[in-house]
Each structure stands twice: as structure tokens, then as C-alpha cells.
Amino acid sequence: MKNGLIAIVGNKKNLNQSVMLIILIFVLCVIATTVNPRFVSLRNIINIFQQISVLGIIACGIGMLLIAGEIDISVGYQVSLMGIILAMIIDKVGGLNPAGNMGWLVSYALPLAITAPFVVGAILGFINGLVVVKSRVTSFIITLGFLSVYHGLALWISGASSYMLFGKFELLGRGKVFNLIPVAIFFFLGVVIVTHIILKYSKYGRFLYAIGGNRQAAYVSGINTNRTIIKAYVVVGILNALASLILISRVGSALVDTGAPYALDSLAAVIVGGVLLTGGKGTALNIFLGVMLIGLLSNAMVIMNVNPHLRDTIVGLIIIIAVSVSNRL
């Protein structure tokens, strides 16, 4: 039994991390349920999974990138920018007069809107990765700069306006299987499974661990470190695109700051999940558990009527504690 668990999480240290996260999740659930029994209702559990779907998808991309020793703090505004592009296409193209000269585009509005974020996400990821590897400046500084760039682009493209999509694009964010389980949950779990397969069984995954563990040694051993890092950023961009589709579909609107909170939350989930900021360590299972912990914490604060303004303070403290504990393991 124990050997089987170690095979899933990678090694004994990762198993210990998983056990610790499961205990924390259990304790949090007990406390929240004691305060409000509705916390463990089926409806609320499904709601929690739906809420963390976007966070989990973004976190998987950030987790793989962090394993390689890199970081991207621009993800929040990447999601916002792609969400605005999605909404603009649905609003502008879908709103054309079918009888007009450009009316033929109306039937392509939704396919274009779904495809565009993935193209933009891949491009943004490629640009981020290319600048990081070519400039040789720490990725925190580079992506901090790109955070402002993408925020500015979102403001410019949207004119600082919001786009309302209620009833126009709901399947990914609000659709349910068997009228019970949200579609978004299947996307989230699918991404977690694919992340696990990549990290544990693929050559690309082994390259990420090698680069994060010792970049110079990885390069000497024949790994194209620059290409691998750029690929990792592209993966982040593509997963951000998927997250933006689900998020905009769920909330029914696109704002400049729609995705902004996910930058801190995704980083918190990944760090709590045991991925080292220095790279070389982390698993898909622990990233999933980290996402669960952050999601449960947010929901528990609502259920227990905790002041919502304290949320970011608590998440920040969790990051500090998680980093401190990880450095001692």
C-alpha cells in the first residue's frame, strides 16, 4: 500500500508532504463544519470544486514552470486579456448583421472566440519564455514587467469597459453533466491527470526536474534548457487560455481585473503543495492538494462569515509559512 502511494507521489518526502496536506484539509473541514454544517453538504462540495477549477488549471501550469526553477507572476492579467479578447469576439462578431457584408462571420463567432485565447496564450507564453532565457534576468522581474504590459493591453483593447456575455457563452463555466456535476470540474481533473503523466512519465517532465535541480548540470548532460523553459512558458499560456474560457463562461462577463486574483492564489496553491521556489521538486498530486486547501480555505471563510478583506492577508501568511516549512524539509 505504502509503496503504491510512493509510486504515485514520487518519493517518501513527497508522500510526507501529501499526508501533511491531507491532514490540514481534514482539520479545516472539521473546523468549518463545526461552525456551519452546510460546509460538507453535497451542494457546497460541488460548488467548491467548481470554484477551484480555474485556479487548479492555472496552478498546474505554474507548478510545472516552478519545478523548472522559473516563475510567471503575469498569469492573472494574461487570463484577463484573453478573457476580454474572447468576449470582444463574441460581442462584436456575434453581433454583426447576418444580412450585411460581413454577416457570414456571425456563424464563426463562437469558434473564433474559443480558438483566439489559445493562440494568444501560446504567443504570450512564447514571448515570456523567450525574453526570460535571452535576457538572463530573473523571471520574477521579467514577468513583473509583462504583468504591467498585459494589464495595459487589456485596458487599451477594452477601453476600460466590461463585456457582458450572459446567455451567450455558458457551457464551459455553467454547464453540468447529468444536471449535477459542472463541466469545469472535468477539465480541471483532466489537466491534473495530464500534468501527473507529463511530470512522472515523459522526457519533458524529467527535463523540468533536471533543470530545476541543477540547470548547469542539465545543460552539460545535453538538455536544451532554453527550449525546455520556453515550452514551459507556452504551456502556462495555453492553460491560462483554458482557464480564461471557463472563468468568463462562469461569471458571464469580462473585466480588466477578472483574472488578477489568480496570480497570488495559484502561486500560493503551488507553494503550499510543496513545489520549491528554487525548482527541482513537486508533484501533480500535491499541487492538486494545495489547490484544494486554498479553495477550501476561501469557501470556509465565507461559510464562517469571516471578513472577506482578511482573505488576502491569510493567503499571504500561508505562503510565508509554506515557504518557511519547505526550506526546512
> What 3-state DSSP class applies to 323?
helix
Where in the chain are the domains?
Answer: 48-328
What would the DSSP string read from start to end of 270-315? Answer: HHHTT--TTSS---HHHHHHHHHHHHHHHHHHHHTT--GGGHHHHH
- pLDDT tens-digit readout, 38-94: 888 888 899 999 999 999 999 999 999 999 999 999 999 999 999 999 888 887 665
What pLDDT is attached to residue 104? Answer: 43
What is this structure's pTM? 0.89
Q: Is the dihedral of CA 176, 193, 271, 2 positive or negative?
A: positive
Instruction: Give the mean pLDDT of 89-114.
Output: 63
Q: What is the pLDDT of residues 16-48, one digit of tens each?
A: 778 888 888 898 889 888 888 888 888 889 999
Helix (H, G, I), strand (E, B) or coil at 218: helix
Give the integer Cα–Cα distance in Å for 242 and 79.
Answer: 9
How far is residue 312 from each of residues 35, 258, 263, 298, measured CA to CA in Å?
21, 16, 12, 10
145 or 21, greater pLDDT: 145
Tracing cell 548532460 back to the chain, one arrives at 221
pLDDT at 96: 43
